[in-house]
Amino acid sequence: MTGANLIQMSSGSQTAPPADLAQERRTAAQSGLVVHQAESLNCETPPSLLGEEVTATAQFYRRSHFPIPVIDAASWRLGIGGMVRRPLSLSLHELTQMPAETAAITLECAGNGRALFEPPASGVQWGFGAVGTAEWTGPLLAEILARAGIQPGAREVVFRGADQGTVDAPGGLTGQARFERSMPVHDALESGALLAYAMNGHPLPARHGYPLRLVVPGWYAVASVKWLTGIRVAAGPFRGFFQDTHYVYDWGRGGDGRDPVRLQQVRALITRPAPGQDLACGSVTVRGVAWSGAAPVSRVEVSVAGGPWQRARLAGVPPAHGWQRWEFLASGLGPGQVRIRARASDLAGRVQPELPEWNRLGYGANFIHEIVVVVR
Ligand SMILES: Nc1nc2c(c(=O)[nH]1)N[C@H]1C(S)=C(S)[C@@H](COP(=O)(O)O)O[C@H]1N2
Ligand SMILES: [Mo]
């Protein structure tokens, strides 16, 4: 599908206004989001608001490390350089004139679920809602890289955002870092990544990366660099702060065992009923969403009141890059507090574990979601 003509991109000088933090916080709270750290605009979505195929932009979770950069779209350009045959510098207008794709893609923060780790892992204490699915529109990254022509011997593609600031460096030091992240060339070409200028049919809001962001299906969203200004093709491994120090699995075993986070872990969320909801005795339809970066979701199972895992029905056509909706008819509900749990499996053979492996920075925490309802 081409979306280029459907999105009204403003022409001429267009600067996203500096984000008013108090305003951002109010808007998030009014949309029902849980605001974690107002200073850095980190907000998550209660799972009960995540039941649709596509999440409304106002309810989409937000995660930014630094203040939102102010970008003048008229002078902004995307540079593509390094090990390429034809370095490029593209304006927003040029990008919107290219063939575009529109796809529903699920973004999930690698720290989603961190709050459940015991002992606590450091970082924003996300519950289950640092995840959302939006329709993103823009040219394929592979198409732009093909235009630039990757040179033989290139191994990685580094993506640079316009934002920067102070970070805690190892050894109790602080330093300056820019938001940059890399992917192997193969993944950059094969993952289906988009250079998105629109979200849910409108130009990207400032907080989600205006005027252009990378969106990488199946990968933890740290890969989906917002406020993109540059793409650099390189021979060596990139060692930036958000690649090598942060967003790595640190198993705390010492030595060199640190891998950057990559694919989303398999996971299901219950979106209906809502936690604490009052239900009448009898039956209720439990609904939710499930996703995995490694392979499509093959199965969702539900356990009611400590009973056995039972298979839920997967709804609709299997999505290419978005989450899978599912439903399950729970019957025979007796009075009292009833615990409902859901877990997902994928075609790569992964099953959501009872206890995800603890790691120092708290990534990949795909704990099984459970809610408690009150049956009367
Ligand atoms: N430039 C830039 N890109 C970024 C980030 C950032 O801080 N700066 N945060 C990343 C992380 S960790 C996540 S989870 C997602 C959040 O995207 P959203 O705010 O649109 O939900 O953006 C990613 N891209
Ligand atoms: Mo994240």
| pLDDT at site 21 | 79
Please list, in sequence order, all residues whose beta carbon lies within 8 angstroms of the beta carbon of residue 112, skipping any fewer than 6 positions away. 44, 126, 128, 129, 130, 131, 365
CA-to-CA distance for 269 and 290, rounded, in angstroms?
6
| 151 and 47 together in one domain | yes
Q: Is the CB of 179 under 6 A from ligand 1?
A: yes
Q: β-pairing, 313-315 with 198-199?
A: unpaired
Write out pLDDT tens, residues 13-45: 344 445 677 888 888 999 999 998 766 689 999
297-300 contacts at long range (C-beta below 8 A, 24 or more positions apart): 297/266, 297/268, 297/323, 297/324, 297/344, 297/345, 297/346, 297/347, 298/345, 298/346, 298/347, 299/344, 299/345, 300/268, 300/324, 300/326, 300/328, 300/342, 300/343, 300/344, 300/345
71 lines ligand 1 (CB under 6 A): no
Q: Are 132 and 60 in contact (CB under 8 A)?
A: yes
**217 and 96 within one domain:** yes
In Å, how far from its chain's centre is CA 168? 23
**Ligand 2 centroid vs 257 CA: distance in angstroms?**
21
Structure pTM?
A: 0.94
61 pocket-lining for ligand 1 (C-beta < 6 Å): yes
Q: Which residue is associated with the tokens 């290139």? A: 154
Domain CATH code at residue 13:
3.90.420.10
Q: What SS3 class is residue 27?
A: helix
**CA angle at 101 for the pair 247 and 136, rounded to the nearest 5°:** 45
Out of 209, 244, 260, a domain closes at 260
| Nearest atom of ligand 1 to the alpha carbon of 132 | 21
Which residue's alpha carbon is nearest to atom 2 within ligand 1?
Answer: 226
Contacts 24+ apart (CB under 8 A), 36-41: 36/124, 36/125, 36/126, 37/124, 40/64, 40/65, 40/66, 40/67, 41/68, 41/207
At 166 the three-state DSSP class reads strand
Is the Cβ atom of 208 under 6 angstroms away from ligand 1?
yes
Domain boundary residue, one of 260, 276, 295: 260
Interval between CA 72 and ligand 2 midpoint (Å) = 25
The CB of 161 under 6 Å from ligand 1? The reply is yes
Question: Is the CB of residue 160 below 6 angstroms from any atom belonging to ligand 1?
Answer: no
Tokens 């660099």 identify what position?
225
pLDDT at 40: 67
Same domain membership, residue 329 and residue 255? no
Domain that holds residue 119: 3-260
Series of mean pLDDT values for 10-residue runs along the chain (376 residues): 42 49 86 82 95 97 94 97 98 98 98 97 96 98 98 98 90 88 98 98 97 98 98 94 93 75 98 96 97 97 97 93 98 94 98 96 98 96
| Ligand 1 contact, 62 CB (< 6 A) | yes
Q: Domain total for the chain?
A: 2
CA distance 105 to 137: 10
State in Å: Cα 44 to ligand 2 middle.
11
Ion ligand 2 residues within 5 Å by Cβ: 63, 109, 222
Same domain, yes or no, for 252 and 360? no
Same structural domain, 18 and 125: yes
